Amino acid sequence: MKVVFLSPHYPPEMQQYTRGLAEVGATVYGVGDTPVSSLPVSTKRYLSDYLQVPGILNETDLIPRVHAWLRGREVDRVLANWEVLVMTAAKLRERFGVPGMTVDQVRGFRDKQVMKERVVAAGLRAPRSYRVRTVAEAEAAAEEVGFPLILKPIAGAGSADTYRVDGPGDLEKVLGAMGHVREASCEEFIEGEEFTYDTLCVDGKPVYENVAQYLPPPLIARTREEINPIIITVRDLKQAKMQKGIELGHGVLDALKMGDGFTHMEWFHTPKGEAVFGEIGCRPGGAHLVDQMNYTSDIDLFREWARAVCWKSFEARAPRKYNAAIIFFRAKGQGRITRIEGLRSFLRDHGEHVAEEKLLPVGAHRRNWRQTLTSDGHIILRHPDWDRTRELAEQAAEQVRVFAGG
């Protein structure tokens, strides 16, 4: 099993997938833009070969380079788990005639308008939406959709340039701020709680599934710095509410013709009890969601992903033992972290439930909370009871305080 894996070390969790591939017996060829001498030793040992390219995101340059590099070698898979590379991987697969999801299949997971059209065509509930390229198109779409509405880039990530628009005056302001976005989606605003639906699939069928709740919804967490956002995996997937999201998810996987690998979907649960599609990617959720899923069941999904994509099998037993909560912290103040309060007492009182504590240390520079959900570090805790998990997570978010200055 010979696997080309794009960007085997970045973002950092890719190193875990590289390890997984090697552990299930694959020969791993890495492609990245970091010099081989700067790759972590712990990753290099799992790579049989490595091609350094000038820019990993420069697809037109990368494809012929990889082609030339692999000439005369057999390749069984071309894989990527980083959102911005899933289409590049599909194009390489098509070029080499390697099995896996096609460019057209991947388009359904990358283009938010195509995605929703395919989901709606399958009879599933998604926000009404229009693709808009100009101010006039956006205004016309707003007429159709009504207020409040959401304007966001067609190929967005990290809630960047995503706006809730409450009225015509707002629309003008937002359109001014979105001038640099080439194509946007103008859609009906869905009120409700927000959840993920995550899977690892073989031939489009989940061999593993997960639901997690965002507290609060990402758009709110991404616009208010004073919030320490929480995400909790839901241990009990049998609840009727979760089943609605899971059923929707199954429909979406079929509608988009998912192949092998991870998916990360977002959905809303409305006050009327309806599950509404948000978006989906054919890659794992970021911001440590895979770690949270691993803590939920005490499994290693990095390795199981590799097994699924290489050998179409899943060998872990995955009992749902815990709700696993991650709390992302945002420091008060700018610059470097100066002190952390409340951590010691939280750990003293609840340390038995804490699986991971990775706050930035004093002296470290703050991360940009708008650009990365991981902000200034996190705590992961877990507990078998949902209400208790949520209570502990909210307590940590309240009690542990990180300060920066200078």
Q: Quick one: DSSP state of residue 365? A: B
> Can you tell me the distance from the alpha carbon of 403 to that of 398, in angstroms, rounded to the nearest whole number?
13
- 83 to 102: interface string for Mg ion, x by CB under 5 A: --------------------
Contact with ligand ATP (CB under 6 A): which of 194, 198, 260, 291?
194
Given Mg ion, ligand ATP, none, residue 194, with its beta carbon under 5 to 8 Å by kind, binds ligand ATP
Q: By C-beta, is 50 or 109 nearer to ligand ATP?
A: 109
> Can you tell me the distance from the alpha carbon of 120 to that of 112, in angstroms, rounded to the nearest whole number?
12
Q: By C-beta, is 34 or 162 nearer to Mg ion?
A: 162
Tell whether residue 156 is a contact of ligand ATP (CB under 6 A): yes
Find out whether 198 and 265 touch, Cβ atoms under 8 Å.
yes
Contact with ligand ATP (CB under 6 A): which of 100, 206, 217, 245?
217
User: What Å distances lie between residue 159 and 151, 164, 222, 275, 372, CA to CA?
Assistant: 11, 11, 7, 21, 10
Q: By C-beta, is 13 or 194 nearer to ligand ATP?
A: 194
In DSSP notation, 53-97 reads -S-TT-HHHHHHHHHHHHTT---SEEE--SGGGHHHHHHHHHHHT
239-268 residues in contact with Mg ion (CB under 5 A) are 266
Q: Residue 388 corresponds to which tokens in the numbers above?
A: 């208790």
Q: Quick one: DSSP state of residue 260? A: S
> Can you tell me the distance from the alpha carbon of 21 to that of 1, in angstroms, rounded to the nearest whole number?
10
Least Å from the CB of residue 157 to ligand ATP = 4
Q: Residue 344 corresponds to which tokens in the numbers above?
A: 């010691």
- 99 to 128: interface string for ligand ATP, x by CB under 6 A: ----------------------------x-
- 274 to 313: interface string for ligand ATP, x by CB under 6 A: ----xx----------------------------------
Query: Tokens 């999904």 sit at which residue?
Result: 301
Could you give the residue ranges of the DSSP H alpha helices within 150-230? 168-177, 218-221
Among the candidate windows 158-166, 247-255, 336-344, 355-363, which touches ligand ATP by CB under 6 A? 158-166
Tell whether residue 11 is a contact of ligand ATP (CB under 6 A): no
Least Å from the CB of residue 22 to ligand ATP = 29
Q: Is the dihedral of CA 306, 309, 311, 312 positive or negative?
A: positive
> Can you tell me the distance from the alpha carbon of 398 to that of 378, in angstroms, rounded to the nearest whole number?
13
Binding site for ligand ATP (CB under 6 A): 127, 150, 152, 156-160, 162, 187-190, 194, 217-219, 266, 278-279
Binding site for Mg ion (CB under 5 A): 266
